[in-house]
Each structure stands twice: as C-alpha cells, then as structure tokens.
Structure 1
Amino acid sequence: MPSARNRKGDVQPQLNEDGKYICLIDGTLLPATPEEGVRQEFIAILMNEYGYPANRLRREVPIYHGSSELIDSEGRPVRADLVAYADKVAAAKRDQGRIVFVVECKKPDETSGYAQLVSYVFSTNAPGGVWTNGTEGDAADTKFYRVDRTLGQLLPVTELPRADEDWGAITRRKKSELGKPHDIRRLFRLCNSKLYGRGMENFDYDITMDMVRILLAKIEDEAAPGDYPSFYITQDEYETAEGRTAAAQRVRQLFRQFAERHREVFPEGEKIEVPDDAIVEVITVLQPWSLVVGYEDADDWDVMGAAYEQYTHQNLKRQRGQFFTNRLIVSAMVEIVDPQVGEKILDPAGGSGGFVTAAFRYVRREVIESTKPGTPQRERQLDHAKNDVFLSEVSPRLVKLAKTAMLLNGDGHAGMTKGNSLGPYENMDPWIVSRCSRGVPKVILTNPPFAGQGDARIGEAPILSQYTTARRFVARENGADVGEELMPLQAPEVLFFERCLDWLDEGGRMGIVLPKSFLDTTQGLVARQLLFEQAHLDGVVTLHKDSFQPDTGVRTCIVFLTKKTAAERALPEEDYNIFMAVSQKVGQTSKPQFTDEVAGAVAGMVVGRDRMEGV
C-alpha cells in the first residue's frame, strides 16, 4: 500500500493531489477533516513508534453487544475510530475477542472520549483503550486506559503496549530495551501539553526551563551506570500518591546530580519547580524511549537536535534584542562557511545554541561519511568535533538551553559558557580563555543582538573604550583640529561585528547576521572600513523580509568574510569577486507559525563556499 515515508522509512499521513487523505491502513481516500488528520497521525504513531503493522489495524469498526450491533441515541450504527488487533487474522475478521485496544480520535476532550471508550470496551473483550485529540497545540493530549471489569472502569495507565507486548507484560524496562523515538517532536509537544494541561500556566513556573531540567534528568539517567533506569514510574506507583511522589523525587535527584557537575550554569538550589504530579506526567511520556543514541548515528542526532531547537523556539518568549534564527538560515550559513574537523568553531552571541549545534552536526556528518566505523581515525575526529565547538552567552537561561541542545545533539556541552563577549577577553569563562581565546577560532557563526528601535544600545564606557567602532571624530573648540571621543551609545551589532573580526584567527571564516542598514548607513561606516582593511568580503545575502517573523520585521542580511593574514594586509588591495544574492523564500510567513520542510529556504545560499556563484 503506498504511503509517504521520510528518510528513516517511517510512514507519514499523506494527502493526494485532490487534498484527500490516503489512509495509511488500506489506501482508501478520505475527506481531509481535522478529525481524520488526528486519526491518520495516530495510525502513523502506532506503526512507527509501537511497531503495529497496517494489517493489524482497522478503522471505522462496527461494535457489537452480543449479536446486536450497537446504535447511538439517534439510531446510527456505532463505529470505533480505530482498533488494534492481536494479529492480522483477527483484524481481517474484525474479531472483537482479539482486540488489543480501541482508539477514540473524534471526541475533542478527555471526558467525552472516556465515555465513548467505555461503551466500546465493555461491549467487547478489549483490555484497553486510547483517547487522543492530536499532538498539535497546548491543548493536545493522549491518554491510555486499561479496563478493570470488576470496578467497571477504565483506569489510566502509564504506557501503551508495543506490537510484541501484552498489556500485563509492561514492567520497568532495561535501558537496553528502551525504544528509539521516531517522532521526537511529538514527544516534546506532548510533554509540553502535559505540563500546561495540569494548569501550570496559571502559576509562576518557567515551564520551558522545567522541561529542559527534566530532559537533563533523563539524559543523566541514561548515561549513568546500571542496567535499569531511575527515570521511570511503574503502574503500581502511578496509582498511589506515595508512588507518584517517589517517582518524581527520583527525577529531581537525577537533575541535582547533573546540576552539581555544572554549577557554573546551574547554581546551588536550582531545581525542577513544577509539582510532582506534573513531573509524573512527563515521565509517562518519556520513559519508554531513549534520548541518548549511538554517537555515530548522525541522522538520529540531527532529528533530536532539530526537534529540541523547534521546541525552544516555539515556547520561549523573546528577550530584548534576542531572536531565534530560522533553522533553515542557520543550516545554509553552516554549509557555506563549511567548518572542518580540527577547526575551532565559535558563536560569541550564542543564544540557545542554534549555530554551534548545527556546525557540530555538520562536522560530525563529514567525519562519519569520510572515515570507517570503529577506526582510531574516526574516534579521534569525532572527539575533536565535540570538543571544538564554543559558545558564549550572557543569559544563564539561554546557556542552559544551549547545554541541553548539545547533549541532545551528541555532547559538546562543555563549550557552552556564560559570559559577556563584548567585555575584556581575560574576563570570559576560563574554558573559553584556555581553549578559544583571541586569534584561535577558525570559524565564527553568529546572529548578535540588534539595538533596533529600543534602548538596547551599549553605554558602558569600559566596554566602549575597547572598540574603534565606538569612537567618533569631533571638531575642536577652535574649529581647526579634528579630535576623537568615545560615543555615549553604540549599537551592539556593530560592536559584535568588530569583536568577531578581532577574535577570528587569520585566514578564518565568518558568517554573521546583521541589520541590512549595516551595508549602507553612516552608523556602519567604520565597521565596513574595518571589514575591508582586515578581511576579504566573500559574500552578502539580503534575507527575506519574513526571516525573523513573527519576532521582528527588521530587514537583515548575512555577511560572509575571510580574515586576511598579516602578509595579505601588507599587500595592495586588488579587485576580487564578491558573491551577492537575495533570499526569495524562507519557509515561514509573518504569521506566528513555523514550517521547517520548505524547499529553497534561501535562494542561492545552498551552495558550498567553493561554489559561490550568481543566482
């Protein structure tokens, strides 16, 4: 049966050219209603995540009570949205005695979904059921139930059995038995929904940071010695207040262990703030899955890292002058600058780590594709890859996000540091000072904060005094002499450009996002003069007007350059070609949405640095 598949071979909901769903079970064309979208999405989840083949699933299944088909209050036959059977023979016969679980997709809330499931389950021999209203949005949720026929109830349970498991066989899995999530975005969205769904938005909790802390606890657990995880909750624990507290406390302890090793970012006393019941709900989502995969599994790391970056982008409120760079732009910039194994890579205005994680994935993929598995050469190069990425960011919150991003991308988190990159070099984090100091980084990729129209300009004299771009010429009192004085304020993007140019090694390459005004206004004049004195301008790309929507409509560009060596600076300047392009597509609009599968993200940018040519 034809179905859409991604590069990992997973099935995905598919629309035909007429806008109808092609059912993943039997290929039937179905109207593209929101309810059908939820059902097709959950069919894909059952097939990809839980291993149920299409021949064990059926949709719109008649439900019988004895020999009579059930009808609703309006006299219409009752149909279960989706049914999973014990085997393909039972599915073919629609054998009510061999049902594994029934799925209700069309009831919009858990209460009505539960009531519908009760009517299905107690009319059949089904041992369990599922209610889901999808995975998109803060209200999206999925609940699993197991039947208790003695009590005449459906009881919430922590997990759904996989295709090769029975309901009663689900126990505390070994770490080696944890599955690989096929749709990590779904897991992150579901965790977020579980937190918001418990009313946390009405309290003074930073839900995004608590989600990060819980993820770090999960990673800490998977990386720790021992066959069995501590990040778990059994069904018996789930059903008692004492058990839920015990499970939550295990997760809190795992985060404390991680935080103790990283006090430079997680100060004493920092903890998971949300209540125990909220932690428990996230445990039920994540406990069947492994978030730490084989170091060489570049595809899995790419998916994991991208999902985390999208999660943080969509759930963090913007900070003054700081915006999350469209991942398509980040990927294009990394490909053009083309970082290599052994080169130190730096983002001095790192935010949540988008550039460094993308660069790390890029270098790792190059290593994996160019070396043989298990060889010392590959091991050494992969070790270089994770130890050669560096980030400096003034916000402790964003450094935490960046560390988590690197862990979800395959480590390298030690290079994610807190510091003011505009201050003196010697005042920066010791890790940066000792390993990526002035003149060391061979690659700089960054999107510094912009002043915009607000009050984000830099006014501290000790900082401004370090920069040529923070000085201006003035006439002396006699009108004859021209002197120089420190400006009272300067835009941070101008200072960051000068700092990056100074920080970069000779012969090093830089890609930096700047306001379009940098190219043609007097404010950027001194910086442009420094550029041509100290570097070769390799290319300029004017970005699409929606590149940073819905955060800001500031028009932006990307400047690519290579820093001259001392010998090159001593030579007379000669004419050379400069690549110039205009972005035609960016994969999003000015509305608050994000589409990460749009082809042609930046016209003319998806070319290697050696192939920069006109578009």
Structure 2
Amino acid sequence: MANDVVTIPDGYISDYIDGKFRKDTPEEYVRQTIEKRLVNEHEYKRGQVRVEFTLHVGSNKPRVDLAIFENESVPQTQENVRIAIECKKESVSPSAKKDGVGQLKSYMSCCPNCEWGLWTNSLQKFVFRKSVDDEGHITFMEYNDIPSANGTLDDVNRPKRKTLKSASDDNLLFVFRTCHNHIYANDGLQKQQAFFELLKVIFCKIEDERNLPHPLEFYATSDERGSRDGQLTVQKRVGAIFEKVKKRHGKIFDEDAVIELTPRSLAYIVSELQGYSLLNTNIDIKGKAYEEIVGANLRGDRGQFFTPRNVMKMVVEMLDPTDEERVADTSCGTGGFIVMAMTHVMQRIEAELVDEFGPREDWGVDETMAFQERVSDVASRNFFGFDIDRDLAKATKMNMVMNNDGSGNIMQTNSLLPPHEWDMDFKSRLAKAIGRDPKSLVNWKSLAMFDVIVTNPPFGTKIPIKDTSILGQFELAHIWECDKTTGKWTMTDRLQSSVPPEILFVERCTQFLVEGGRMGIVLPDSILGSPGLGYIREWLIANHRIVASLDMHQDTFQPHNGVQTSVLILQKKSQAEKDAEAKTRHVADYDIFMAMVEHVGHDKRGNPIFVRDDDGNEVLVADEDHGAHPVIDDQTTLVPEIFAEWKKQEGIVW
C-alpha cells in the first residue's frame, strides 16, 4: 500500500536504492536496472548498498557507481567494500582507457577487502573476483556472476532449482540483448541467425527446468567458461539437452539440427542464463524481453507492427477466455496475443489448483508437474496461431514454449487463402487438432471452429490483396453501392480490384468464429470513420453485436507506427438472429461500451510516461516492499474492470 506521495522534477528519476533524485540519463537507466537486480534477485538490502560511494586514492576522490557491504551494521568505509559495480551507457566500450573494465579493477584494487566487481554497459557484462597472494600481487579471475546476499560460490557456478532466480524489471531483456550481441559480434552470424541460435539455447534452458525431479544440467562453471577443455564440456552437456529438445519439438527443429555456436560463445551464453528460472519469471517481464528482441530481429515488411503488451492484456481480460474454449490469433506475429490469452487461462488453472493443493510456493514436484501437464494439455488442445511469415511462426512457437509449452498449434500459413488451397500438412494438422476430417475444410463456410479470436491483423495500402481467388471468398471484397437517399449500402456481384488485408481479415476472423463466438481486433480508425467505408460498418452491424469500441491514443503503436487505431470487441450473431433481422428489416437496439484510452503509458518515442501532479511533476509513490517509484500513466489497466461491471449490467454472459 502507498505510504507517501512525492513528486519528481522533470528530467529526473528517483534512485531505487536511496531515493535521491538523479538526472535521467542512459547511464542512469543501466544503474537503476542493476540496483533493482541487486535487491529483487540477489536479495541485498538497500542498507547494504551505497550509490556513488567516494573512494580515496591518493589525492584523488573517484566515486564508484555502487558499493556493496557485507551487511548493514558494518561501518561503510572503503576498507569494508565487498563488491564494486560500475555501470556505463551502451556506447562505452569495456576496453575504454578511462571508463572500461580497467577503471573497475583500479577501484577494486584500492579497496583492500573488495573481493568482487561487476562492469556493465547493458550490452556486455564482466564479473571479476580479486585475489591477493602473499607478496601482495593482485590477480583478477573472470566469473559468471557476483554472489547473492545469502548465496555461495557453488550457486554462482552451478545453480540448484531452489536457488534459481526470477528475473525482475528489464534484467531479462538486458541478458537477452547481451547474449544476442555476443553471438553477433563473436560468431560471425547475421542478426537473424544469431537470434535463432540464442533461441536454441533458451529452449535447452527451459527443457532443463522442466526435467523434474532431476538435477539441473544447464550450467557452465567459471572454470569451464575460461578454458578450452571446459568449453567443450559445456558444449557436450548442453548438446545432450538439445537432443531432448528436438524430440519434444520436432515441428520446430529438424532432426539433424545442432547448436551452431562456438564452444566459447555457448559457455558464455549458458553462464548468463543459468541463474534464472525462465518458467517462473513473471509473464510480463519474460514477454517484454522476448518480444522486444524478436521485434528487433524479425520485424517484417508485410504491415506488421507488434501490439503493446498492455493493450493485449486489456483485450484478453475483456474477452475473458476459459480453459474450455478454443482461442486463436489468425495473424499471430511474435505470438504476444496468444501467449497473453494462454497466460490468462493459466492463472485460472493455477487458482483452481491452489484451492486443491494450497499456496503455489508450497507445491512440491508432484503438484508442479500436475500444473505443467494441465497447462500443456490445454495449450495443445485449445490455442492456435497462424502467420504467413515462417520465421514469425517459429518465433511464436518458441514464445509459447517459453511460457507454457503450447507450440503444437502454431502454424505457418496464409490464412486468407481459400481452404482448398491450404497446404495439406497445415490442413491435416489443423483438422486433427480440432477433431475434424481435413476433407471437410473445403471453403469459407466450413471454417467456424474458434470460440475466441484475439488479433492485430497487418495493415496497409502498400500490401493490397489482388488475387481474385482470395477476394471471391469475402463479401467485403465486393463493390458496394450506397443509396444516397437512405444511406443504405448494397453489395453488388462485382469484385474490387484490390483490398487492404485488414478488411479481409475482419471477415476471415468472423468466418473462423462459431456462432456466439467473440473477437477482439485492432483496426485502423479509417474503417470506423471513413465515409467511403460505410459498407464495412454496415456489414459489421449485420453480422455481429458490437459489444465495445475503444478509441486508442495516437501513440499506442509508437515508436514503430503512428497509425490511429481502435479496438473492437465483437460477438458473432447466429444465423437465426440474422434471418430474423432480415425478415423484420430491423436490427434490435442495444448499448455499446465505448471508451477513449487517452494515456497508454508511453510517448511517441516509446519512453514511459508517468502520472504527474497539477504542476507537471511526476508523482512518486513510496511503499515498504518496492521503495519509491513513479506510477505509469496507463488507462488500459482500468478498462477491463469497468467493462466487466458494464457487461454484468447489460446481461452479457461470457
């Protein structure tokens, strides 16, 4: 609970450790991320850490970014510094004469009892352990990580299940970036290839975590990382895990696939990842890290722009899918929407098992395995994702696996094609998953199979659909004429010469829904407001109940795309409802939930926006658990609860 509220001057942040206001700079961002890791992952108390601690080196008085002491009670003097940390902005090289790792080593040398040091620029990280021989000669040995407050050196070298840490804030993103950049810089691979090699290693990490109750095998000790023989040992150990990965995920990896990293790079990547529990890390932290690195490497030219996580969460919570409903995203991109929906269902499953087994933290191996098996079963039966981009489909599979092992129904296809033109492998896999005969999937009339669809289709006049065999499946691909007297639109039998894909995806998603099924879809505002597109709005009203319309802020998809968008929540009408309305020529009146989301938590550059007071200063909330922190100005978090109450008043049941 909030205990105090203060304001932060513009251009400053509140330090996570001591609460002082410091200028908001790229270097400060790195330091704040490390501070959060020290407290939340390594479990150091704030009282053990000093920020910008002054050292005395002859007549000079340099300041080390972070100094950590053995405990809160020891005098915080230079003699008692145990760990020294230097944080730099990305542009600073570790070999830089002034600000590189040499600076860190000099600070460690002048602190007689400083055993550990860490240097990072968020792209690279170096950890050193200092030793002094009988003659006073100092040597530095490179290690995987600094020890945690209550950890041991064994935990640094080979973590145990009980010592694995859940990542906090942006630290997992830091690790993924560091690993990817190491591969890119040292293995001679292009960015995209480096990305997929990193994902192979991430798969091995997850496979090892799932291998209950056996000891962890995904590790590289500091000694192994530093020697050729040790690096080869790590390669062999992780290679054995990858063989299990290929057997489990044959649709993702070919039988003869191998990890194509040098032993040195593989040992480095393993050492960076080994201390984390990817399975237990919060879904938002994990998803943000994964989707940002995917977007940086696989962003295509087919009108894709990936949906912000807060928007996806809002839409999923409004649709509220259950573990008995089939859920799909027909243009899944990196899989954010489908993973968010699966996470929503996982939380339902976990709540049920908590009622049966007790609190999650008290679960043993049997309870954890029961949860994993139920999640995998639901994911494999009820969650589906399609994308035309082969690499994005593979990335979505990996995203699902990292979160819940539900990769089986993520498939590469052009879902706008007529079903009789679908690839036979795709059609067979889809039919088997939904319990249908592949021969029954013959045209658009045979597609109703999903209860819930969540999607952000590709937009763009630059990627129009012109193929008449595709256009012929859709009423919205026909030319419509408007009666100027009545304003009513009538569909002709003539096809348009080309149609933007988002218009066709609206109708294809409706075709995929069962009667009474519901859809959350992101659409450009032109569909809802342009006079010339009135026929689309008339078609939407004729075929759906328009449950909600959310007008999103223009910066929602920035910094990548400035398209003004809305979110529609639709429920597909039954044929009986449509027939009755056609007979009476009257559509029943009903209320529509409408909202303007004016604050989405970031600006047009993608930087976070925080709540401000009347004077324009950021509001800082202090609480006992997390220290002082600003509050993200994000209205998407408010919408689902308000919508749920409105839905109850309207008698809408799902």
| Smaller-chain TM-score bracket | 0.7 to 0.9
> Where in structure 2 are the equivalents of 1:308-457 lying within 5 Å?
308-369=290-351, 372-374=354-356, 385-386=378-379, 387-425=381-419, 427=422, 428-436=426-434, 438-450=447-459, 452-454=460-462, 456-457=463-464
Q: C-alpha separation between the residues in 2 aligned to 1:194 and 1:3?
A: 39
1:279 to 245, 256, 266: 266
Question: Which residue pairs with 1:239 in the alignment?
Answer: 226
Runs of 5+ unmatched residues, structure 2: 358-366, 437-446, 482-490, 582-586, 611-631
Provide the rounded CA distance (Å) in 1 between the counterparts of 2:394 and 2:319: 26
Q: Find the partner of 2:41 among 49, 54, 78.
A: 49
Equivalent position to 1:545, from 554, 563, 568: 554
CA distance in 2, matches of 1:489, 1:408: 39
SS in structure 1 opposite 2:636?
A: coil
* Mapping for residues 451-530 of structure 1, pairs under 5 Å: 452-454=460-462, 456-472=463-479, 484-521=493-530, 524=533, 527-530=536-539
- What CA distance in whole angstroms lies between the structure 1 residues aligned with 2:473 and 2:163? 53
Q: How many residues align?
A: 575
Cα deviation, 1:76-120, whole Å, max 9, x if unaligned, reads 33444433233344x325372x54322234694423443233333
Contact 1:342-1:384 at 8 Å conserved across structures: no
Is residue 2:264 matched to residue 1:257? no
The normalised TM-score by structure 2 is 0.77
Match of 1:586 among 567, 582, 600: 600
> TM-score if structure 1 supplies the norm length?
0.81
Within 5 Å, give how 1:127-166 maps onto structure 2.
128-135=115-122, 140-149=123-132, 152-166=138-152
Q: What one-letter code is carried by the residue in structure 2 that aligns with 1:56?
A: Q
Cα deviation, residue 439, structure 1: 2.4
Secondary structure in 1 matching 2:450: coil
The alpha-carbon distance between structure 1 residues 383 and 602, as it changes in their structure 2 partners (threshold 3 A), is closer
In the superposition, relative to structure 1, how do residues 373 and 429 fare at CA in structure 2: closer, same or farther (>3 Å)? farther
Query: Does the 8 Å CA contact 1:185/1:308 hold for their aligned counterparts?
Result: no
The one-letter amino acid of 1:470's match is A
Aligned partners of 1:22 and 1:185: how far apart in 2? 17
C-alpha deviation, 1:326, in angstroms: 1.8
Is 1:185 paired with 2:193?
no
402-411 vs 498-507, which moves further: 402-411
Secondary structure, counterpart of 1:505 in structure 2: strand
Deviation at 1:611, TM superposition (A): 1.3
Q: Does 1:565 align with 2:564?
A: no
Alpha-carbon contact 1:585-1:603 (below 8 Å) kept: no
Partner residue of 2:106? 119
Q: 1:468 to 1:59 in 2, by over 3 A?
A: closer
Q: Is contact 2:416–2:470 with CA below 8 Å preserved after alignment?
A: yes
Counterpart CA distance in 1 for 2:142 and 2:377 is 47
1:53 to partner: Cα distance? 2.0
Secondary structure of the equivalent of 2:313?
helix
283-292 or 302-311: which moved more? 302-311
Contact 1:102 1:126 in 2 (8 A): no
Q: Tell me whether 103-112 or 488-497 shows the greater mean CA deviation.
A: 103-112
The aligned counterpart of 1:84 is 68
| Aligned residue in 2 for 1:601 | 636
3-state DSSP class of the match of 1:608?
Answer: helix
Code of the residue aligned with 1:414 in structure 2: it is G
The C-alpha deviation readout for 1:527-572, integer Å capped at 9, x for no partner, is 4444333222223233322222233323322222111123322323
Provide Cα deviations, 1:9-60, integer angstroms capped at 9, x if missing partner. Answer: xxxxx98568766555555666666655544443332222112223433445
Paired amino acid for 1:443: V
Counterparts in 2 of 1:228 and 1:445: CA distance versus 1, 3 Å: same
SS in 2 for 1:227: coil
Give the partner amino acid of 1:453: T
Relative to 1, partners in 2 of residues 1:310 and 1:606: Cα closer, same or farther, differing over 3 Å? Answer: farther
Q: Distance in 2 between matches of 1:578 and 1:264?
A: 43
Whole-Å Cα distance in 1 between the matches of residues 241 and 183 of structure 2? 23
**Residue 576 (structure 1) aligns with:** 590
Inter-CA distance 231–385: structure 2 relative to 1 (3 Å threshold): same
Please state how far the C-alpha of 1:444 moved relative to its aligned partner.
1.0
CA distance in 1, matches of 2:638, 2:20: 38
> For residues 53 and 479 of structure 2, what CA distance do their matches in structure 1 show?
78
CA shift, 1:586, in A, is 2.5
The Cα of 1:329 is off from its aligned counterpart by: 1.7
Structure 1 position 394, deviation (Å): 2.0
SS in 1 for 2:267: helix
Secondary structure at the residue paired with 2:519?
strand
**For the Cα contact (< 8 Å) 1:222–1:290, is it kept in 2?**
yes
Q: Tell me the equivalent position of 1:9.
A: none
Q: CA deviation at 1:580?
A: 3.2
Distance in 2 (alpha carbons) for counterparts of 1:423 and 1:407:
28
Give the Cα separation in 2 of the matches to 1:239 and 1:143.
13
Q: Which piece of structure 1 moves more, 415-424 or 155-164?
A: 415-424
2:375–2:404: 8 Å Cα contact kept in structure 1? no
Partner Cα separation in structure 1 for residue 113 and residue 243 of structure 2: 42
- Is 180-189 or 337-346 further displaced after alignment? 180-189
Aligned mates of 1:556, 1:27 — CA distance in 2? 38
| Amino acid across the alignment from 1:291 | L
The superposition leaves residues 193-245 of structure 1 with CA deviations (integer Å, 9 ceiling, x where unpaired) of 34325653974241333332221121122223563333211122111123224
The 8 Å contact of residues 172 and 289 in structure 2, kept in 1 or not, is answered as no
Q: Secondary structure at the match of 1:571?
A: helix
| Structure 1, gaps ≥5 residues long | 6-13, 64-68, 294-298, 475-481
CA distance in 1, matches of 2:125, 2:351: 39
1:347 CA displacement: 0.9
Counterpart secondary structure, 1:330: helix
* Cα deviation code 1:156-197 (max 9, x no counterpart): 2112112223547744233x2342223263123233134325
| Paired AA for residue 69 in structure 2 | Y
Any idea what SS the aligned residue of 2:550 has?
strand
Partner-residue secondary structure (3-state), 1:374: helix
Q: Structure 1 461/486 Cα, relative in aligned 2: closer, same or farther at 3 Å?
A: same
Compare 412-421 and 521-530 and name the one that shifted more: 521-530
Shift of 1:145: 0.4
- Percent of aligned pairs sharing the same letter: 27
Distance 1:226 1:592 in 2: 42
Could you tell me which amino acid in structure 1 is paired with residue 383 of structure 2? V
**Contact 1:3–1:22, Cα closer than 8 Å, also in 2:** no
Residue 66 of structure 1 is matched in structure 2 by none
* Conservation of the 8 A alpha-carbon contact between 2:179 and 2:198: no
Change (3 A) 1:424 1:272: farther
Between 1 and 2, higher relative CO (CA 8 Å, sep ≥ 6) is seen in 2
Q: 1:351: how far off?
A: 1.2
